[in-house]
């Protein structure tokens, strides 16, 4: 049996290639409301947070009463480019391999439940995951509640749970929940920032992530 019997994936930037679309939507929403437009690095840094938390970081001077309007403009720009969203190459095969090994899979994401449901149904991946947690159900990452609730629901312990994500928010959440983590550097945050949080490994492709899991199975056998 693999060492980890619960693997929790982030969604944006980890399973779905969406970072560029999110950056564009954040920048366009800022422009629509007359706010300074964040540069790419600033916009990428907030990927993975809940939407309201992300917008507060990129538009700190916006009156609180206008954040719902900015969120609406963000969604408008995001969905106007939804045709550009794809799963990273190899994601489907990775999920199939893990399921065949008897691993329980879950998602912990900064997306809303509605947004995640739309993505899961679009890509036909809903059956792959046994539990989901979203930013409108729990405090935003890096708060550990998403992982705590997933472990409780699925009957797993922190020492047998692995969080996989492309942002420091994901890896900090894992640290806060007492679980191991793996960083993926093909998403929103650079590899150096991920490695600074001491994940088990930091990989630069889904193929490398698949190889990591294969080595885990081999080691345990």
Fold assignment, 19-83: DNA polymerase; domain 1 (1.10.150)
State the Cα angle at 112 between 110 and 113, rounded to 5°.
120
Catalytic residues: 10, 12
Could you tell me which residues come within 8 angstroms of residue 33 by beta carbon, excluding any fewer than 6 positions away?
Answer: 59, 62, 66, 69, 70, 73
What is the dotted CATH code of the domain comprising 6-17+86-220? 3.40.50.1000
* Closest of 195, 193, 186 to residue 18, by C-alpha: 186
pLDDT in tens, the chain (221 residues): 358 999 999 999 999 999 999 999 999 999 999 999 999 999 999 999 998 899 999 999 999 999 999 999 999 999 999 888 999 999 999 999 999 999 999 999 999 999 999 999 999 999 999 999 999 999 999 999 999 999 999 999 999 999 999 999 999 999 999 999 999 999 999 999 999 999 999 999 999 999 999 988 655 54
* Dihedral of the alpha carbons of 12, 14, 20, 21, in degrees to the nearest 10: -30
- The domain ranges of the chain are 6-17+86-220, 19-83
- Terminal-to-terminal C-alpha distance of the chain: 7
Q: Is the peptide bond before 28 cis (omega within 30 degrees of 0)?
A: no
Taking phi first (over 0 means left), then psi (-120 to 50 degrees means alpha), and beta for anything else, what does residue 30 get? alpha
- Are 165 and 183 in contact by the 8 Å Cβ rule? The answer is yes
- State pTM to two decimals: 0.94
């Amino acid at each position: 049996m693999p060492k980890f019997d619960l693997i929790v994936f982030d969604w944006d930037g980890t399973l779905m290639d969406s970072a560029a679309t999110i950056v564009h939507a954040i920048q366009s929403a800022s422009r629509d409301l007359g706010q300074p437009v964040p540069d790419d690095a600033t916009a990428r840094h907030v990927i993975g947070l809940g939407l309201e938390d992300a917008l507060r970081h990129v538009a700190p001077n916006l009156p609180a009463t206008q954040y719902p309007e900015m969120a609406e403009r963000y969604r408008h720009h995001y969905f106007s480019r939804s045709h550009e969203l794809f799963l990273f190459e190899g994601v489907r095969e990775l999920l199939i391999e893990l399921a065949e090994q008897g691993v329980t899979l879950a998602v912990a994401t900064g997306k809303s439940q509605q947004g995640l449901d739309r993505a899961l149904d679009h890509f036909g991946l809903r059956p792959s995951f046994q539990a989901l947690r979203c930013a409108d159900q729990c405090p935003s990452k890096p708060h550990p509640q998403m992982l705590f609730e997933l472990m409780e629901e699925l009957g797993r312990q922190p020492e047998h749970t692995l969080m996989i994500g492309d942002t420091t928010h994901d890896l900090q959440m894992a640290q806060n929940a007492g679980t191991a983590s793996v960083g993926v550097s093909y998403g929103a945050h650079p590899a150096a920032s991920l490695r600074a949080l001491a994940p088990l490994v930091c990989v630069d492709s889904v193929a490398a992530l698949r190889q990591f899991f294969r080595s885990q199975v081999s080691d345990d056998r």
